[in-house]
Structure 1
Amino acid sequence: MKVKKLFGTLVFVLLSIASVQSQEKTITGTILDQTGTPLPGVNIIVQGTANGTQSDFDGNYAITASIGQTLVFTYLGQRTTQREVGAQNVINVQMEEDAQALEEVVVTGSASGKSLKELSFALGQVKNELLENVPATSAAAALQGKVSGVSISSPGGQPGSNVSIQLRTANSLSTGQDPLVIVDGVILEGGLADINTEDIDRIEIAKGAAGASLYGSRAANGVIQIFTKRGKGNNKINVTYRSELGVKEITSKYDLATTHRFKLTADGSAFDLTSGSREVDDDGLSDNRYPIGNIFNYQDEIFTTGVFNTHYASISGGDEKTRYLFSYQRLQDEGIYVLVDDYRRDNFRLNLDNNLSDKISVKTSLFYSNSNRDAAINSGTTVGILFPALITEPIYDWNAVNEEDGSPYNFDSNTFDPNIKNPLYTLANNDKSEKRNRVLGNVALDYRVTPWLKLNGSYSYDFENNTFQDYIPKGYLSDDPDGQAQNIGFIQRSNFNGRAQNTRFNALFSPFSVDSDYNLALRFSYLHERYESEFNNSEGYNLAVSGIRSLDNITDSPSVSSQAQEILTDSYFVIADFDYKDKYIFSGVARREGSSLFGPNTRWANYFRTSLAYRVTEDIQIPGVQELKLRASYGTAGIRPSYEMRFETFLLRNGSPTRATIGNNDLRPAKTGELELGLNMNFLDRFSFEFNYVKAKTEDQILRVPLSAAAGFSAQWRNAGEIDATTYEASLNANIIKSDNVSWDLGIVWDKSEQKVSQLDVPAYLTGPGTQETTLFRIEEGQNFGVMYGNDFITSLSDLPAGSNASDFVVNSAGFVVDQATGETPVRRADASGNEFFVIGDITPDFRMGINTTFNYKNVSLYALFDWKQGGDIYNKTKQWLYRDGRHTDITSGLPYNFYQGLYNVNLPSSAFVEDGSFVKLRELSLYYTLKGESLGSVANFIDTMKFGFVGRNLLTFTNYSGFDPEITHQSESNRANLTTRDTDGIGNDPNTPGGDPNIFKVDNFPYPTTKTYSFSVQLTF
């Protein structure tokens, strides 16, 4: 009986299995998009199982399923579609575009592309629509005022210059604040000055370690990832042409003194030279008119209205197998200085995507840029041009001929100060040129092994070549810029090559469904980085033949120098993104990285991130609120030492080595740990709001520590400090009006940050631009990073030094305490011990805000961007020099000249020149009129749209700052070109700040002035 029952049970089970198998069948079909075009690569999965497949080139698919099961169709940019399996064997699907998902998908810091709603950390984004309103000349400048927590420092309006970027706070005391930049998968070593914005599709910004941990020791300052436009597989060729023509001019000029302090002859026709030289008038005031004759304004002599123009053209298209985009941009910019050749840049781009099969695809990006710049006005010589234009008394004719040889621009016209030369002669005769070639390339191969497993490999390349030439002809009259070259001539030629190669391998478990409510994306990656550079320089004096620019023309022994680097880095990392029902969200990162930049004993560093998010409105319905997400994230990222820091270094002069820094086998990268708390909210179907609170600590600051003489070396680079930083960020986007004919969008970004030196394992020190005696930024434990130290001239009698008799002093009309007897001596603050060295300023602003608005009415579009910085001090070194030489208009206010000489303070840091850097700018403005369809008339047969526009940049500035512009940096540029130019301005850089730090050191020292531009543009699409 038991055998019969067992046999019967077995038969029943087999029949049941057969019955189930008889219901399983093969489902086939074709998947189309909303236009009816076949969609390749659509993921199809049987819900609740791991059974899945993908559609082929023609959108066809086949999958086994049983009656009653559900097929789930997913594709990036399309709405997820579900179909239940019934009696039919063919299920065709036409998917619908999910515009919101298409716009919001981001990839920076995640395992794979994710919606912004599914991110558990903050990520800034600038979309193409905002970039196209007013195309910036470089990608970095395009971020200005558009993302909270982003600070842009530009070296003025100099064409072709790199822009320095700071995300959130300053994290490094010595190696700068520049973030990691990635363009189409290429990790950049050079700057962004070569990248034109017309090619950019979107920019993603991970602003700190919490969002950028995935990128390891290069990411503590954040990550900017740029994605350029690519072709669409719509079987249509798309052609775009855009041209812009405009003019640029300086935003303001200095109001200089037109009177002086010297005695004149009785009839006022000349200076009184009875004693053999000019004498100061007895009253000590600068209220005497200059002798009768022409009064020159040298700012009008050196500045001009420059013309610039751009031409951009792109061709894109493709089908389901191949997509392409080719573009070309030509930029010409004359700048605003006379006798300077224009800046020219030619950019070429090719983006190519190929589906080799339904499982294998190749993505290629190739970019080439060639630029030429007249380097007569660069970071080293701006002081040499603008300084004499502002300092020279307005009584000399710079256009007069030289009596020595009849050449124009009399170089030694300044009879009362022969040390100040005519800069027009320098511009006309000292020929400096800089050429740059840049190649960026990336090729990536994707192999989808299964619907849930994709393998990826990529190789990227960044090559930069800079060549520089400085030529001073034989017979050159002036001893400016180089006294050694006077009459005998000079040639310098430099060449820099930098080559970065990166190889990456990824395995992506891309998101598969364990259950319909659970989703996981897991990526394992390996990255190998190799960077090589070499720099060669040859120069010499005493040319044999005039007009020959060959190094063979040098008769003296030429000076030769060179430098070479090789940096290798290997990284292993894993990232996991997990969510339950799209409402409980988790992301985790772990990275291990080893680099030749780290000491041999500390070769490997570890980084991680963990972040959580909860979409409250998925559980709780809040009236008027469509989305409320709470986020918390903590991550770590690093800052690498520069190449020379861990090695023993020597200064080699005339073949004799001198010890400089001793090596450090224990040198580690600085490490930032960042806590980020935030929320995102969409409400009233019109508004989206984001707020972030960020707390960061950067440990193991890399500092140059002085050593005793017994060490045999003057210093060693060590990990020796910490910075604590706090940031608040907010942004609001609003669709105020949205209808068929009228729309009005508004975007507001706001941030407030501060950073403090919480630990310093070396004595407090001064740093920043200038000589050792004139540097004013103090690094001291307990102080904000960015405070200025110097002599504080008091403005209240209550601040008089102890023991002073108040009746002997008075507050003058300029607001300073001076001696009552003469009114000439300003009083400096002093403490009980006689110290006269105090905090006199702080670069940290109270807040920054950007407001952009776009108003559309039918075919008319008006866009404006306002940029507001409140607070933050600037040191006006230009004003200090003008006080010294009696050229600033303040000198003519009726107070004694010697009073202003006292404030000048023998060029030492003085509170008199610390100014509030607050401003409000109309940063960008555009007005466009678009013709399309029937409004184009007969040309509609071959032109899709025609767009005409007015474009303005930096049109208005509201500020109390007395200099050219409150957006100021010192004269350092963060690009390779600085390796190729001689330091002719005397502005050194403290060894603790290699290359300087334009984001921190707000010193106005005769910079290249900021410009405003007016232009017209036309854009055609075919």
Structure 2
Amino acid sequence: MRTKFSGILTLLLAFVVQLTFAQEKTISGTVTDQSGLPLPGVNIVIKGTSTGTQTDFDGNYSVKANKGAVLAYSYLGFQTQEIAVGDNNTINVQLSEDAAQLEEVVVTAQGIRREKKALGYAVATIASDDIAAKPQTDVVRALTGKAPGVNIQQTSGLSGSGTNIIIRGYSSINGSNQPLFVVDGIPFNSDTNNDRNFVQGGAAASSRFLDIDPNNIKEISVLKGLSATTLYGQAGRNGVVLITTKTGSDADANKKFEVSVNHSYFANEIANLPDYQNTYGNGFYQNYSAAFSNWGPNFNVRGQQGIAADGTVPHPYDREALATALPQFQGARYEYRPYDSVEQFFKTGSVVTTSVNASSSSEKGNINVSFGHTDDEGFVPTNEYRRVNFSLGGSMKLSNKLSINTSMNYVRTDRFIPPTAVGFGSNPAGASLFANVLYTPRSIDLFGLPYENPLDNSSIYYRGGNDIQNPLWTLNNIIDEEKIRRFFGNITTNYEVNDWLNLSYRVTIDGYNQLNERRANKGGQQVVGGQMTTTNIESTVWDHTLSLNFDKD
């Protein structure tokens, strides 16, 4: 009786699971404004989850959702609209402008708060909630889809790699097109420093705006117009990104002591891989050989073209040069079939962030302390990015006319990435992991072959001449490490001469030390003899500003 009841319960659960999956369907449609024009970059999120998508250039979108789920459509400058998924597979949405944003107050290039409708130039404002909702360790990538007209592209998929942000289009071929970053009034050095060119793997270099903790940001304003950057001169020629942190903000006066703790976990996977065929393996002209190609026999061939009747070929390590080091492979056979070596190489990474913020304020002043820890493990083994942020800020009213506020920040980051030189066919231009991984022949079992000679720890691989470096040897013997230690802060005093005139003096400092180190063991074909190089970069910028401001009708 109990067995029968268990069987009925199992069938019932299977039916429920099948019914649940059957309800999921693909919803598609177009998002437009009130005049019918398509809106690109609209965020569509399944309410209560982090699953969603964005509209393309023509305002089209496609997302998988269950019947009864609620889709939230949001776009900067427009009211958020929520629609429940019903029987229809097509949902077209028309968003209405958000009139409340006309009264929005933003921070201008001069550091003065003004109503958005009174500005004479284009500005996009992004609140902290929009930034924290994205699983990005890079504050610039968190702006994707939030700032219309801003082009954001990451230079590499590796954790801790740089990002290009273009506000006004490309103005220089050889120079930088990045905008100026200003954090709590501090001109922030956002350079991308690398000691290698593109061919040697410089594309994986990091940008210094990675040092900003997205969880400590209160507001971001992207200033696009030419007149918005008058104060910064040549430095602001590519636009300005103004960032106000929670420790640098004097808002929320008279708020009692408050502590907030945020912890998040996101999975990180490789977006796509080349489409590999599983019909042909190693060789040339339909004959088997240990070639760096897939022009060999069909995997169904038996008893000809170099394939034995049992579907095997000589083991790749059955050669005289490895007889002493690996005697177990001498005379061994190797199954000739397709292996998923490339697919197995990449893993599921993770992004874990923890932030703690404590604040208190009164009529006399306020104080804010923030701590953040980020651990980003990439989808490539050995690729990791770790960051610790500590911030302290506050303000105090010393008298009816004199006030002072300050913000101090310390950043510590450590980044580890494999070598990423450009590949040209069978071998890369320098030390590179991906050039050999992605070209692995389908008949080679990358994870079934030892990658290291047990006698001298050198790289070994399937080629008879051992002229191609084993990617697993590269992974375990060559690493690029970057260490950043940074401090930036400011002290500002403000004296109110009268109701419409005030005098302000601000001193800021932004300094960091960047240590790049490459360690390559001997025994490989890409860096013969091994290598140990270090590059040390020091940068310190002091900025003093004395300004007389007036605001009179």
TM-score by length of 1: 0.36
Change in CA separation of 1:111 and 1:461 when aligned onto 2, cut-off 3 Å:
closer
* 2:121 and 2:225 in contact (8 A); partners too: no
* 2:414 and 2:483 in contact (8 A); partners too: yes
Q: Does 1:424 align with 2:472?
A: yes
Equivalences for residues 510-659 of structure 1 within 5 A: 511-512=551-552, 519=553
Shift of 1:107: 2.6
Shift of 1:378: 5.6
Q: What is the aligned partner in structure 1 of residue 92 from structure 2?
A: none
Q: Does 1:181 align with 2:181?
A: yes
**Cα-to-partner distance string for 1:509-551 (whole Å, 9 max, x where unaligned):** 2x12xxxxxx1xxxxxxxxxxxxxxxxxxxxxxxxxxxxxxxx
Q: What is the aligned partner in structure 2 of residue 460 from structure 1?
A: 508
**Cα-to-partner distance string for 1:203-248 (whole Å, 9 max, x where unaligned):** 1111142432332111221111111123633250111101012321
Q: Does 1:479 align with 2:525?
A: yes
Shift of 1:416: 6.2
Q: Does 1:271 align with 2:288?
A: no
Tell me how far apart the structure 2 counterparts of residues 198 and 240 of structure 1 sit (CA, whole Å).
11
Structure 1: where are the runs of 5+ without partners?
1-98, 274-290, 513-518, 520-1022
**Among candidates 451, 455, 459, match of residue 411 of structure 1:** 459
* 2:103 and 2:117 in contact (8 A); partners too: no
Tell me how far apart the structure 2 counterparts of residues 379 and 353 of structure 1 sit (CA, whole Å).
49
SS at match of 1:459: strand
**Among candidates 365, 370, 392, match of residue 350 of structure 1:** 392
**Among candidates 380, 385, 403, match of residue 361 of structure 1:** 403
Tell me how far apart the structure 2 counterparts of residues 216 and 402 of structure 1 sit (CA, whole Å).
55
**Among candidates 262, 268, 293, match of residue 286 of structure 2:** 262
* 1:349 and 1:365 in contact (8 A); partners too: yes
Shift of 1:503: 0.8
* 1:298 and 1:390 in contact (8 A); partners too: no
SS at match of 2:211: coil
Letter in 1 for 2:109: G
Tell me how far apart the structure 1 counterparts of residues 336 and 477 of structure 2 sit (CA, whole Å).
29
Equivalences for residues 591-740 of structure 1 within 5 A: none
Q: Which has the larger radius of gyration?
A: 1
* 1:200 and 1:228 in contact (8 A); partners too: yes
**Among candidates 333, 340, 343, match of residue 297 of structure 1:** 340
Tell me how far apart the structure 2 counterparts of residues 269 and 234 of structure 1 sit (CA, whole Å).
85
* 1:307 and 1:333 in contact (8 A); partners too: yes
Shift of 1:336: 0.7
Shift of 1:169: 1.6
SS at match of 1:392: coil
* 2:451 and 2:473 in contact (8 A); partners too: no
Letter in 2 for 1:453: L
* 1:305 and 1:336 in contact (8 A); partners too: yes
**Cα-to-partner distance string for 1:79-130 (whole Å, 9 max, x where unaligned):** xxxxxxxxxxxxxxxxxxxx96997222323583210111122111112232
Q: Does 1:398 align with 2:446?
A: yes
Shift of 1:178: 0.4
Change in CA separation of 1:390 and 1:271 when aligned onto 2, cut-off 3 Å:
farther
Structure 2: where are the runs of 5+ without partners?
1-98, 191-207, 289-296, 309-333, 423-427
Q: What is the aligned partner in structure 1 of residue 372 from structure 2?
A: 329
Change in CA separation of 1:362 and 1:269 when aligned onto 2, cut-off 3 Å:
farther
Change in CA separation of 1:384 and 1:452 when aligned onto 2, cut-off 3 Å:
same
Tell me how far apart the structure 1 counterparts of residues 185 and 402 of structure 2 sit (CA, whole Å).
19
Change in CA separation of 1:343 and 1:366 when aligned onto 2, cut-off 3 Å:
same
Q: What is the aligned partner in structure 2 of residue 928 from structure 1?
A: none
SS at match of 1:424: helix
Change in CA separation of 1:310 and 1:407 when aligned onto 2, cut-off 3 Å:
farther
Q: Percent identity?
A: 27
Change in CA separation of 1:269 and 1:348 when aligned onto 2, cut-off 3 Å:
farther
Change in CA separation of 1:403 and 1:120 when aligned onto 2, cut-off 3 Å:
closer
Shift of 1:448: 0.9
* 1:127 and 1:202 in contact (8 A); partners too: yes
Change in CA separation of 1:179 and 1:185 when aligned onto 2, cut-off 3 Å:
same
Letter in 1 for 2:211: D
Q: What is the aligned partner in structure 1 of residue 264 from structure 2?
A: 244
Tell me how far apart the structure 2 counterparts of residues 341 and 198 of structure 1 sit (CA, whole Å).
23
* 2:453 and 2:460 in contact (8 A); partners too: no
Change in CA separation of 1:135 and 1:203 when aligned onto 2, cut-off 3 Å:
farther
Q: What is the aligned partner in structure 1 of residue 414 from structure 2?
A: 372
Q: What is the aligned partner in structure 2 of residue 307 from structure 1?
A: 350
SS at match of 1:193: helix
SS at match of 1:492: strand
CA RMSD of aligned residues (A): 2.8
Shift of 1:446: 0.5
Aligned length: 388
**Among candidates 438, 441, 451, match of residue 489 of structure 2:** 441
Equivalences for residues 845-924 of structure 1 within 5 A: none
**Among candidates 488, 508, 529, match of residue 549 of structure 2:** 508
Change in CA separation of 1:263 and 1:102 when aligned onto 2, cut-off 3 Å:
closer
Shift of 1:268: 4.5
Change in CA separation of 1:133 and 1:470 when aligned onto 2, cut-off 3 Å:
closer
SS at match of 1:227: strand
**Among candidates 334, 356, 362, match of residue 319 of structure 1:** 362
Change in CA separation of 1:346 and 1:102 when aligned onto 2, cut-off 3 Å:
farther
Shift of 1:411: 2.9
Q: Does 1:193 align with 2:234?
A: no
Tell me how far apart the structure 2 counterparts of residues 337 and 403 of structure 1 sit (CA, whole Å).
20
Using CA pairs below 8 Å that are at least 6 residues apart, which structure has the higher relative contact order? 1
Change in CA separation of 1:378 and 1:351 when aligned onto 2, cut-off 3 Å:
farther
Tell me how far apart the structure 2 counterparts of residues 271 and 101 of structure 1 sit (CA, whole Å).
72
* 1:398 and 1:411 in contact (8 A); partners too: no
Letter in 2 for 1:422: N
* 1:296 and 1:396 in contact (8 A); partners too: yes
Q: What is the aligned partner in structure 1 of residue 226 from structure 2?
A: 209
Change in CA separation of 1:321 and 1:268 when aligned onto 2, cut-off 3 Å:
farther
Shift of 1:391: 1.4
Tell me how far apart the structure 2 counterparts of residues 367 and 378 of structure 1 sit (CA, whole Å).
32
* 2:452 and 2:459 in contact (8 A); partners too: no
* 2:419 and 2:478 in contact (8 A); partners too: no
**Cα-to-partner distance string for 1:27-58 (whole Å, 9 max, x where unaligned):** xxxxxxxxxxxxxxxxxxxxxxxxxxxxxxxx
Shift of 1:179: 0.6
SS at match of 2:233: helix
Tell me how far apart the structure 2 counterparts of residues 478 and 442 of structure 1 sit (CA, whole Å).
49
SS at match of 2:176: coil
TM-score by length of 2: 0.65
Tell me how far apart the structure 2 counterparts of residues 103 and 199 of structure 1 sit (CA, whole Å).
25
Q: Does 1:228 align with 2:245?
A: yes
SS at match of 2:277: coil
Q: Does 1:219 align with 2:260?
A: no
Tell me how far apart the structure 1 counterparts of residues 338 and 493 of structure 2 sit (CA, whole Å).
69
Letter in 2 for 1:411: S
SS at match of 2:446: coil
Tell me how far apart the structure 1 counterparts of residues 469 and 355 of structure 2 sit (CA, whole Å).
42
Tell me how far apart the structure 1 counterparts of residues 218 and 452 of structure 2 sit (CA, whole Å).
58
Shift of 1:301: 4.0
Equivalences for residues 89-100 of structure 1 within 5 A: none
